[in-house]
Structure 1
Amino acid sequence: MNPSSPATGHAQPQAPHTSVTWYESTARQRIDGLLDAGTFTEFLGPQQRETSPHLAMFDLPTQFDDGMIVGSGRLDGKPVFVAAQEGQFMGGAFGEVHGAKLTGLLRASRDIRSIPVLLLFDTGGVRLQEANAGELAVAEIMRAVYEARLAGVPVIGLIGGRAGCFGGGGLIAACCSALAVSEQGRIGVSGPEVIETNRGIEEFDSRDRALIWRTMGGKHRWLIGGADRFVDDSIAHFRDAALELLTTHSAAGEHTLQQEQFRLEQRIDLFGECADALDVWRLMGARSPASLPELDYTSFMELGSRIRNACHDAR
C-alpha cells in the first residue's frame, strides 16, 4: 500500500528500487526502477506474441516482445509513456515490429498531446536481417518524434546501456527534446567496427577501447553539447535527470531547429580540425585532457561543468 500524505490524505507515489546500475539492468528492470512502483502498464506485451516475421527465415530465435517494451506509467505521480529497448536481444537492433511499437507509442503521444515520452535507448542500429524494414522504421520513428514534439509533447532520451546508441538510434536520439547520458552511454551514427571497415584502421581502430570511449562515450558527448545531462550509472540518477528534463525542455519549432543548426556550425568551426577528443578537450580549456576519462563522477562533474560553461560563455 502506498503511504498517504499527512497534509492531504492522498496516496503518494511510492519510490522505486533504484540502487542497481543502469548499465547492468535489463530493459524491464530499467522501467521498473524509473517509474513509480507498480504503475507500469505494458502495451503489446509478450503474451500478444508480436514477434518479428523475418527472423525465422534466417533460423534465428525470436523474442515475444521483439526487444521493445512500450507502455504507460507514472513518474513522480505524473503520467508518462515509456519505451525501452532490450540490448541483450539482437543488440537492441531495429526491425519491423520493434520499430512499429515505438512509432505507435509516439503517435499516441502526438494525438493525446499531454503525456510525455521517455525513450530508453540501448541499440546497435538496424538488424541486417531486416535491413529495409528496419531503415523504414527508423525514418518513421524520426518523423513521429518531431510530430509529437510539434504537438507540444516532450520526448526525453535516456542513454546508458550495453549496446550504446548507434545507427538509427543515434539519429533518433538527435531528434529528441533532450538527452541524459551516463559515461557508458556511447552515442554515434556509425559504430567503431563500421568506421574501421569503411575507412580503415588509420581512421579508427575499433580495438582501441580508450579511443572508443573518449570519442563516443557520455563524457565527451556531454562536454561538447551532444547531451543535456550527464548522470552517474544508476537508475536513481537517470530518474532524477528525467524529472528535471521534463520541466526544462524546449518546445519544438522552426526557431529550435535554427538554434540547433547554429550550434552544430559552431562546433565544426571550433573543433573541425581536431583529430581526437583529447584535442577537443584541450581547446575547451582542459589543462590535462588525458586525465578526464579516469575521473570519477563527482570529480568529472566539477571539472567538466567549468570547462563546458567556460566554452559556452566564450561563444
Structure 2
Amino acid sequence: MSSYLELTARERIRRLFDEGTFREFMPPAERVISPHLAQLDLAVSFDDGVIVGRGTMDGRPVFGAAQEGGFLGGAVGEVHGAKLVGLLQRAVDEQAYGVLLLVESGGVRLHEANAGLIAVSEVMRAILDTRAAGIPVVALIGGANGCFGGMGIAARCTNAIVMSEEGRLGMSGPEVIETTHGVEEFDSRDRALVWRTTGGKHRYLLGDCQALVADDIAAFRQAAMQALSASRQRTIGLTLPDLEAEQATLERRLHDHGGESEPLQIWRRLGFAEPHTIPMLEADEFVRLAAGHRAGEEQ
C-alpha cells in the first residue's frame, strides 16, 4: 500500500524514514496512557495516540512524530502533548537535522479539559523553541481527520507544511462552524465544499502550505526531505519581520477575498479562468498550473 491516507500513523512514519532506521520512544510496550481517560472509564491507547521517535532520512538524523487519527481523532491530551514536547526538546539536545510532525488531529482532547489545552500550548512553544535552536520543523498533513483546532495553529508554527489534496487544514472544523453559526454559514455535509475550503489545493493557492503532493507515501517523503533542506538554507527561527510579513499577507487576503463566500470565487479572483476544473486535476498537474500562474504574475 502506498496511500498516505490509508496507512496507520505507525506505518506512515516508518515508511517515511530510511528503511529500518526508525526507533520509537515510549512504545506501546511501556504502556504510558492517559490517566484522565481511565478515570472517565474511556478506552485508552498504550501509546496515547501518538508515535514519537528518531531515524534517518537520506542518512541524516531526523526526529519524527505521527498522530493516530484512529484514536480519539488524533486529539491532544496531557500525555500525548508531553510526548510531542519531549520529542522536540530531545531533537534540540541532540542537534537533529530536522523534525517531522505527521499531524492528524481535531485539536484538543475535550475529555481532558485544561490539561489538553495546556498540552497544545506547550507543543506550540516547543516548536518555536526548536526553530530558535536552528532545527527546522516540517508538518505533513494527509490523514482522513485533517488538522484542526490547536494542532491547526501548531502546524502553522512550523517552518513548512506539506499537504495532499486529501488533507485538510484549518482552525475550526466544518462541524464546529456549522454547530456554532448554522448550516447557512457552512454545510459540513457538503463534502465538496469542505475540501474546496480546507483542502490542500486551496491552502496551497493561499500560501498556507508550501508543497502539494499526491496521496503517496513516497511523494510525502520526497517533499519532506526537500522542505527540511530548503528550511535549513533560510533563517529557521521565527523573526519579527516574518510575523509582520504574515500579518500583511492576512490583511491583503481579507481585503481581497473577504467578500467571497466560496473558494471557486477566490480562485477566479486569483486569475484562474476555469476554477471549476481545479478540483479535478491530479496533484502534479495542479502544481504545474499554479506554478505557471505565479510565473505569469511575476512577469
Q: TM over 0.5: same fold?
A: yes
> Matched residues in 2 for 1:307 and 1:56: separation?
53
Aligned-residue offset at 1:271:
1.6
How many positions carry a matched residue from both structures? 295
| Equivalent position of 2:27 in the other structure | 45
| Equivalent position of 1:12 in the other structure | none
| Equivalent position of 2:42 in the other structure | 60
> Matched residues in 1 for 2:188 and 2:91: separation?
39
| Equivalent position of 1:280 in the other structure | 266
> Matched residues in 2 for 1:306 and 1:136: separation?
43
> Matched residues in 1 for 2:124 and 2:290: separation?
31
> Matched residues in 2 for 1:146 and 1:65: separation?
25
Indicate conservation of the 8 Å contact 1:124/1:164, yes or no: yes
Partner amino acid, structure 1, of 2:268: R
3-state DSSP class of the match of 2:254? Answer: helix
Of residues 292-301 and 145-154 in structure 1, the stretch that sits farther from structure 2 once superposed is 292-301
Indicate conservation of the 8 Å contact 2:214/2:282, yes or no: no
Of residues 221-230 and 48-57 in structure 1, the stretch that sits farther from structure 2 once superposed is 48-57
> Matched residues in 2 for 1:70 and 1:115: separation?
16
Task: Report the CA distance shift for 1:97/1:310 in structure 2 as closer, same or farther (over 3 A).
Answer: farther
Task: Report the CA distance shift for 1:308/1:200 in structure 2 as closer, same or farther (over 3 A).
Answer: farther
CA deviations on 1:89-137 (whole Å, 9 max, x unpaired) are 1110101100000011112223333431100001111112112111111
| Equivalent position of 1:226 in the other structure | 208
Indicate conservation of the 8 Å contact 1:284/1:307, yes or no: no
In the TM superposition, 1:1-315 aligns within 5 A as 20-249=2-231, 250=234, 251-252=236-237, 253-310=239-296, 313=298
Aligned-residue offset at 1:309:
4.4
Identity %: 52
> Matched residues in 2 for 1:178 and 1:63: separation?
30
> Matched residues in 2 for 1:245 and 1:157: separation?
10
Partner amino acid, structure 1, of 2:266: V
Task: Report the CA distance shift for 1:145/1:112 in structure 2 as closer, same or farther (over 3 A).
Answer: same
**Which sections of structure 1, spanning at least 5 residues, go unmatched?**
1-18
Aligned-residue offset at 1:310:
4.3
The TM-score, its normalising length taken from structure 1, stands at 0.90
Aligned-residue offset at 1:296:
1.9
Indicate conservation of the 8 Å contact 1:224/1:308, yes or no: no
3-state DSSP class of the match of 1:122? Answer: coil
> Matched residues in 2 for 1:95 and 1:31: separation?
21
Q: Computing the radius of gyration over CA atoms, which structure comes out larger, 1 or 2? A: 1
> Matched residues in 1 for 2:217 and 2:30: separation?
28
Indicate conservation of the 8 Å contact 2:63/2:96, yes or no: no
CA deviations on 1:9-61 (whole Å, 9 max, x unpaired) are xxxxxxxxxx6110000011101210001101111111111001011222211
Question: Aligned-residue CA RMSD in angstroms?
Answer: 1.4
